[in-house]
A and B are shown apart, each in its own frame.
Chain A
Amino acid sequence: MLAAIRPDNQSFALLLHLVGATVVFGALLASATSLVLARGDTRLLRLGYFSLLLVGLPGLILLRLAGQWLYQLQNWDDLPSQFSEPAWLNIGFIVADWGGILFLIALALGGLGVYRLREGKEGATVLLRVTMVISLVLIVAYVVAVWAMTGKPS
């Protein structure tokens, strides 16, 4: 049914959007799990941070760019002003954009934490714990976004 209602020229953009989404979701899972299980282990603390930086960030960029491409291919920007965009699309934008800002905050705090860890300064664990909490929040947000964008409740 989806194939029947989605023109073929959107399939590649959708594939890139899904690849980006699953890469960032996987990186968040790896990051949160490593940071939860680290118990002060430097290797796992660093793994938690670098999963976000080296895997999650490229995934997030791909998700957002391919999502915008799909948005244009589906002509959502030509929607007459008297119609509002569907809720599932708004949820997707909120998770991608506000979630993206949260992601960048997690990266900044985690980066500071890893720097302090390397320099042997205090506070590294607390900063990385905040990164972990943000990662957990983002995992829940991505689950909601997947549900909204696939079930299209409105």
Chain B
Amino acid sequence: MTFEDWIFSFHLLFAATLVGSLVMSWIVVVSMRTADTPDATLNLHRVGMVATGATVVGLAGVIVLGIWLAILRVDFHPWDGWVIGAIVLWCIATVALLRSFREYAKPVEKARALATSGQTAASAELTALNRTSTGLMLRVLGSAAIVVIVVDMIWKPGA
């Protein structure tokens, strides 16, 4: 394997981590919709934190190695239309996902506050925060942008 092959391989490993962690975070997001107690919210949050960490690592890894590959390979250039398209979509996905993480941190803060005050029963306010529509829409936008990047990477329009 050449150095370029290794960079390509790691680029795709980061991509697999990114998409895999998004699938994982969707499983947590769907589960959170039925979480109504502080305990359930905080337990799911611990799983969600692993997905969030993997998503951040994946986002950073794919862009760094992706741009590096576009510079290394003679067939591609960073200014190719499909590469620029992917970078724009990556920016949209990153902003949407980071904002979504912030939205899903709100029920965790609430759950911690309830747990600190000794309240362990179901809370309507906590349930509503766990079902945040803003967080959900941002997660949909971020995930859709990642899916379009994968399609762009496979078909490479204009390459």
Q: Which residues of A contact B (CB under 8 A)?
A: 1-4, 8, 11, 14-15, 18-19, 21-23, 25-30, 33-34, 37, 41, 43-44, 47, 51, 55, 59, 142-143, 146-147, 150-153
Contacts and interface: CB of A to CB of B under 8 A. Distances in A.
A1 B20 contact: no
Contacts of B26: 26
B19 A22 contact: yes
Contacts of B9: 146-147, 150-151
30 contacts: A3-B155, A3-B156, A14-B154, A15-B151, A18-B150, A22-B20, A23-B23, A25-B23, A26-B20, A26-B21, A26-B23, A26-B27, A27-B23, A30-B23, A30-B28, A30-B47, A33-B24, A33-B47, A33-B50, A37-B46, A44-B47, A47-B27, A59-B23, A142-B16, A143-B13, A146-B16, A147-B9, A147-B13, A151-B8, A153-B1
Contacts of A11: 154-155
Q: Is the interface of A mostly helix, strand, loop or mixed?
A: helix
Interface of B: 1, 5-6, 8-9, 12-13, 16, 19-24, 26-28, 31, 35, 40, 43-44, 46-47, 50-51, 54, 73, 75-76, 150-151, 154-156, 159
Given A26-B27, A29-B51, A44-B47, 5 more contacts: A21-B16, A26-B23, A29-B21, A47-B31, A146-B16
Which 7 residue pairs spanning A and B have beta carbons closest together?
Answer: A26-B23, A151-B9, A25-B20, A22-B19, A26-B20, A3-B156, A30-B24
Contacts of A4: 75, 159
Contacts of A29: 20-21, 23-24, 50-51, 54
Contacts, number: 100
Nearest to A142: B16
Nearest to B37: A43
Given A44-B47, A153-B1, A55 B12 contact: no
A43 B13 contact: no
B39 to A, nearest CB: 8
